[in-house]
Amino acid sequence: MATTEPRTGTAEDRAAARTAVLRDLLPPAVRRRTRIGLVAGGLGAYWPQFPGLLPRLRESARYVAERLGRMDAEVTDAGFVSDAEEAAAAAETLRRTDCDLIVLFLATYLTSSMVLPIAQRAHAPVLVVDLQPTERMDHASFDTGAWLAYCGQCPVPETGNVFRRAGIPFRSVSGWLRQESAWRRIEQWIRAAHVRAALRHARHGLMGHLYPGMLDVSTDPTLLAATFGSHVEVLEFDDLRHRVEQVTEAQTRERMALARRVFTLDDSVVDEDFAWGATVSVALDRLVEDFGLDTLAYYHRGLDGELHERLGAGMILGASLLTARGVPAAGEYELRTSVAQLATQCVGAGGSFTEIQALDFQDGVVEMGHDGPGHLAVSSRDPLLRGLGVYHGKRGWGVSVEFDVRHGPVTLLGLGQDPGGALSFVTSEGTVVPGPLLEIGNTTSRVDFGRDPGEWVDAWSATGVGHHWSLAVGHHAADFRAAASLLGIDHRQV
């Protein structure tokens, strides 16, 4: 019997406690940290004119560096620049650091000749930030030097103009130094940088072959490399078979014991199938480690119970455990969806392999879910292992994961594709609500999008998204809009 389900407290308390227990049982995968570059600046002509100005601006810059340092990122502070030459030197420092996002703090007025080298030479997207010291000036007591500390907004239009003329995307956050709403906007860009960092350096495993006839699922690996910088590692099911053959009985028993702590076992589970899923799970962990994978998409049809069919059918337990550790796995060879799952994982929202199951016009909801691997962190309760004698549309049999998604706000993220091949982020925000659920070994949810469910399906389908996507907890469309900006792709919201 699973032991991850807390028995007391609110639903939120129970979800937090369950997540903590799962983190202990399934330690998160470790990846390269997101790298944020910081450079502050102002016009050097002011320093001899107003001797107290530069120390005050440096104090504000230290506060910005300290706030950024609290975020889950590696921050490189390139210092305070006063002219174009110093800006070029800072740009070179940030270029060597290989930043995922550069925060350019306009402490007071500076010329666009100081900011353009940073945006051009550092080869990373730039966020312009201007935060004056307080909410407003003390007009009666301020002289010119005091006013200039509040003048960071002045060069923002100039910067936007020059960036546009240079073909550089412009983004900015304007506010005051300790304005929490401004910092929430900055934090959103940092979360977007997490997505960019993960996709730039991701190694996506692609194992098996395309599910026959699913034309929307077909993805060009070169397109991922060209769009995000990702690497696609093409794998054979024989790579998994070789590792399955090396798993010992003791390792299988140990994995079964772990699974019993994570899942509730339904009476339909056959011991032999459970043991096979545990064996495949151990081998999957080795496969991911050996190839340095950040995601895995897989499918193999197989034939008449032969070994490769059994391998494909035995994936669900291990793929769910990998997904819970932050290595998203998707069935049906769904490479674009495993990429979307990695993106949702990066903003702390989980992300489970999902498609439409049915529409409930009486309750006004879209029923969603999928057989195969699910993200355990989005479950409303202890996930269930259910034994299945047949997988719909697939060959083989074995154990499958079943749970209902935590009630509350959710975001869908899918990767759409246009006629010219360009990828896009496609999002929609809704709310998971209670109601009747299927008990067929699937992850399931009832999502209310605040509109007629048929109309929602029509609008969602018109975006170019495929028939699978990642379902994540919380409302994060703004995060993915920002991430799309950093990645240089379109964002569409339904």
Question: Domains in the chain, start-ordered, CATH in brackets?
Answer: 35-198 (3.40.50.10940), 202-493 (3.20.14)
Q: What share of the chain is helix, strand, coil (3-state, %, to 5)?
A: 40, 25, 35
Q: Is residue 6 pLDDT above 60, yes or no? A: no
Task: Determine which of 169-178, 399-408, 453-462 has the lowest per-residue pLDDT on average.
Answer: 399-408
pLDDT given at position 13: 64
Long-range contacts of 288-292 (CB under 8 A, 24+ apart): 288/205, 288/322, 288/327, 290/243, 291/203, 291/205, 291/233, 291/235, 291/239, 292/203
134 DSSP β-pair partners: none
Q: How far apart are CA 470 and CA 481, in angstroms?
A: 15
22 pLDDT higher than 80: no
Contact 241, 312 (CB under 8 A): no
**What DSSP line would sit under 367-411, residue for residue?**
EEEEES---GGGBSS--EEEEES--TTSS--EEEEEEEBPSEEEE
The pLDDT value recorded for residue 395 is 59
For position 1, what pLDDT does the model report?
A: 46
Instruction: Choose among 214, 194, 442: nearest CA to 334.
Output: 214
Report yes or no on whether pTM surpasses 0.85: yes
Q: Helix 335-346 and helix 221-228: axis angle, to 10°?
A: 30
How much of the chain, in percent, has pLDDT values that exceed 90? 69
Residue 155 neighbours by CB under 8 Å, 6+ apart: 106, 109, 110, 111, 112, 115, 130
- Helical packing angle, 315-324 and 249-262, nearest 10°: 60
- Mean pLDDT over 90-97 rounds to 94
State the amino acid at position 363 in one-letter form. Answer: D
Model confidence pLDDT, tens digit, residues 40-63 = 999 999 999 999 999 999 999 999
Collapse the DSSP code of 417 into the 3-class scheme (helix H, G, I; strand E, B; otherwise coil) and give the result. strand
The beta-strand segments (E) located in 177-269 are 203-208, 231-235, 264-265
Cβ burial, residue 430 (10 Å; 0-12/13-18/19+) = buried
| For residue 3, pLDDT beyond 60 | no
Q: Strand pairing partners for 415?
A: 425
For residues 352 and 405, the answer to whether their CB atoms sit within 8 Å is yes
φ, ψ of residue 302 to 5 degrees: the values are 75, 180
Residues 410-441 pLDDT 10s: 999 999 999 888 999 999 999 999 988 877 76
pLDDT at 304: 80
* DSSP string computed for 423-438: EEEEEEEEEE------
Q: Is 82 a residue whose pLDDT tops 70?
A: yes
d(CA 335, CA 297): 5
- pLDDT per residue over 94-135, tens digit each? 999 999 999 999 999 999 999 999 999 988 999 999 999 999
Q: Residue 118 burial by CB count (10 A; 0-12/13-18/19+): exposed, middle or buried?
A: buried
DSSP state of 325: T
Residue closest to 471 by CA, chosen among 381, 358, 394, 373: 373
When pLDDT is cut at 50, 70 and 90, the band that residue 359 belongs to is: very high
Task: Render pLDDT for 194-205 as a digit per residue (tens, 0 to 9).
Answer: 999 999 999 999
- 142 pLDDT higher than 50: yes
The terminus-to-terminus CA distance of the chain in angstroms comes to 40
- Average pLDDT across the chain, whole number: 90
Q: 217 φ, ψ to 5°?
A: -80, -25
C-alpha closest to that of 407 among 436, 428, 383, 378: 378
At 289-320, the pLDDT tens digits run 999 999 999 998 888 878 888 898 899 899 99
Q: Which residue has the higher pLDDT, 21 or 272?
A: 272
Q: Which helix (H) or strand (E) holds 227?
A: helix 221-228
The 3-state DSSP class for residue 74 equals strand
Q: Which pLDDT does position 412 carry in this prediction? A: 95
